Amino acid sequence: MVPKLRIAVVGGGIGGLAAALALTRKGHEVGVYEQAPELREAGVGMHLGPNGSRLLERWGLGERLRALGVRPAGMEVRDWSHGGTLVRQPMGEEWLAEFGAPYYTIHRADLHTMLAESLPSGTVRAGHRLERFTETEDGVRLEFAGGSTAGADVLIGADGAHSVVRRTLAGPDTAVFSGQSAFRGVVARDQVPGLPGDTLLVWAGPDARMLVYPVRGGRFLTFVAVVPDPRWRLESWSAPGDLDELAARFDGWNTDVKSLVAAVRESRRWALYDREPLARWSEGAVTLLGDAAHPMLPHHGQGVSQAVEDAAVLAHCLDATTGRDSSAAASASSASASASSASASAARRAIAAALDTYEDVRRPHTTRVQLGSRGGGSQRLRPDEDGAESTGTMSSLVEDVSWIQRHDAEAGLPPLPPPSPSATP
């Protein structure tokens, strides 16, 4: 089958790879341009909600998710001082029945590798740092550091919170600082045998919160320690965290937390920022996806799932730009000069309309998730709650995100037009 569109994805993170997979499954010719010299994902564990996992399962990744991810059996809120369990929320099969797809915790590198290995060989081009792009009559021209160039019918900016593509489309923005930063890392569970390998744990203290969850079959635990600190403002995923400061922050806490902190050998620290929602994501043949479109705080655990939803909707909308089996752009390249110009113009209008539809579907939803993350999640737990109060708070926390996790991004999408009469099966 002739590829429908040539699509350039800038950014080889999870969002960019998810977009590439969704689009290649539709038959498009996709190139992923990653600025790092080699494709790899750092970081620790992450949450993959049912709204994200249901899409990955449809893309054929269910077996690998089950092999590499953990489906937590439950979530517990524990007392920060004595360590006792205040409330437990069952997950596992109950959440599968409730939301229609599994909830996973998974190491970022495992999901990143899974997506990368699902793409055709040669899709990812490392060592390509985008400097600028321009729209032409033939599509979009990308210019990279070092002088190399590329052309595409569509450009997708999946280049994260510091997106070059977003800055070009929307101008400079101001990062919104939450007043908090987070230490994060991974600890082998055999170093903290008192902690379970199948449970999400939350301790809410008077001036910090500790969240712990299993990855890699429960053999490792990811920790995220959120602390208030107006002075730490470095928005970086790779800045080292001071282990002495981490220990001092949790001095006086319960034995389990102190044992966990004592087992940490390496930590990263990042200041928690987001951005105000954009009024527009798209212009012409260029659009945004994932953190480039809607960088959000981590308190709903939805960054990756929202990017996967973006990818699914974008692939559907771009599928509507052509007949099901051939691209307007490909047809234009083989026609006479005058017919080619008219066909190319029609193709550009179809692409712009498809990106407008994508934005119309996704932007209201992600804006609600993005703004809700500012005050949501474990931030609402108070250290002075007793068991009954914690039960009420836990129920409200689950209800806060149930609409997000129940969401099926592919349900109710605009129908594709019928194949063009001139399309060749």
Q: How far apart are CA 313 and CA 52, in angstroms?
A: 12
User: Quick one: CA dihedral 138, 162, 267, 254, positive or negative?
Assistant: negative
Cβ 119 vs Cβ 108: under 8 Å: no
Q: How far apart are CA 212 and CA 248, in angstroms?
A: 18
Q: How many CA atoms lie within 13 A of 183 on its CB side?
A: 28
* 288 Cβ contact list (under 8 Å, min separation 6): 156, 157, 158, 163, 165, 166, 169, 278, 281, 282
What residue type is assigned to position 410 of the chain? Answer: E
Please, where are the H alpha helices in 265-386? Answer: 303-319, 328-333, 337-372
Take residue 229 and report the two structure tokens written for it.
């600190």
Question: Residue 290 gets which letter from DSSP?
Answer: G
Annotation marks residue 213 as catalytic: yes
Take residue 7 and report the two structure tokens written for it.
């699509």
Cβ 10 vs Cβ 33: under 8 Å: yes
> Catalytic residue among 33, 103, 104, 213, which?
213
Q: How many CA atoms lie within 13 A of 12 on its CB side?
A: 27
Q: Tell me how far CA of residue 139 lies from CA of 84, 136, 361, 415, in angstroms.
A: 60, 5, 24, 25
Q: How far apart are CA 187 and CA 214, in angstroms?
A: 10
* 194 Cβ contact list (under 8 Å, min separation 6): 255, 256, 259
Q: How far apart are CA 254 and CA 13, in angstroms?
A: 37
Q: How many CA atoms lie within 13 A of 363 on its CB side?
A: 17
Residues assigned a catalytic role: 213
